[in-house]
Amino acid sequence: MAAGGRFDTVVARLRGLVEDGRLPFASLRIARRGEVLAQAYIDGRETVGAGSLYRIYSMTKPVVAAAMVMLVEDGRLALEDPVARYVPEFADLQVATTSLDAREPARPMTLAHLLTHSCGLANSWGDARVAPLYRQAGLVAAAWMYDPAVGGLAGFAQRLSALPLAFQPGSDWLYGYGLDIAGLVIERITGERLGTFLERRIFSPLGMAATGFQVPEEHAGRLAGLYNAGAAGLVRVADGSERLPLTRPFADAGSAGLVSTLEDYGRFVDMLAGAGARGGVRVMRAASARLVMAPHGPQAPLWPALQRFGGYAPGSVGQALGGITRLDDRDGRGSSGEYSWGGAAGTGFWATPSLGLSVTLMTQLMPAGAVPARDMLRPLVYAAL
């Protein structure tokens, strides 16, 4: 569907990526002030529709960042609180200096550091020099939460606490496990499992009935296939990892654990674009929504690594909570203030509060950078507006 064909060029561009074999399939939702203006489900290697479930990976991060800001709104924490207040396992963190064996005490890590990738925690992938230590400790991305030996989020935190940080908190930017520890903080403050809190405060109010950390077995047929991009074209993943969402995890992973539908996640993006409300349902105050989507804290220490990571033009983006914010209109008239992020399997979204605009894109192709569909569509969407 489309409003007056306004977004036909956007849908055609996305359809072309599928027909050319660059994407396995795709779905797109464009809304303004909560009204869906265009929606498309584009079949390719398999059929997709309204019920299709997608691994959204790092698009989990903005949801968890929003949840933490809701606790700020409730008066239960402050973003400048030290993480060790809620995660005492982090009371004696150390930082790697000249070598992995040479360490110095870490400065206090704050909750804000967790949400802005400035905490010094790394990931099991990438070129961070501490990444091999994460793999040796069994903290492998997208897998550790299913390993009973890790011991859930508490065990995860305990293992992380024994590893050196990549840098002093607040001094640099590194894409890591900060949002997983933020999830643990939420659990310890609320006494609820992360997924339960998200369901009660975000998913249920917004009508996101299909979103969660596990796909029930009876809905296994709705889980879209996962594909890798290679020299020989698209290859469907069939090593067992693609079925992990059908298993109940031992930890709800705030960095990358959620599965969702196009419509479900689109409603979350509508809420952000609507300054905390959608369809008469207010999830958070407007000031809280602005806090999520505004550049947070000193940006200068973060810019070099952040800009390299995303290939962003210097000065074009700021690190917000759980995502990035566009600082000017170079990506399309009206795009300043746009808040966005994506997932490892090529999913992506953006919310532009000044326009009431929300755009959500789903596919399942790894790595995400193989076909940057969201960035290809962005100027076409703004031009159509």
Contact 304, 47 (CB under 8 A): no
Contact 279, 325 (CB under 8 A): no
pLDDT value of residue 199 = 98
Low-confidence ranges of the chain (pLDDT < 70): 1-4
What domains can be seen in the chain, in order of their start residue? 8-72+192-384 (3.40.710.10), 78-190 (no CATH)
pLDDT value of residue 137 = 97
Q: Look at the chain and count its residues.
A: 385
Structure tokens at 300: 């200068």
**Residue spans of beta strands (DSSP E) within the chain:** 26-32, 35-42, 54-55, 94-96, 103-105, 227-230, 233-236, 259-260, 277-278, 281-282, 317-319, 324-326, 339-342, 348-352, 357-362, 365-366
Contact 220, 246 (CB under 8 A): yes
pLDDT value of residue 4 = 47
> Is the overall model pTM greater than 0.85, yes or no?
yes
* Rounded CA separation 24/193 (Å): 34
Nearest to residue 357, comparing CAs of 371, 373, 340? 340
pLDDT value of residue 100 = 84
Q: What is the pLDDT of residues 91-148, one digit of tens each?
A: 999 999 988 888 999 999 999 999 999 999 999 998 999 999 999 999 999 999 999 9
* Rounded CA separation 66/265 (Å): 13
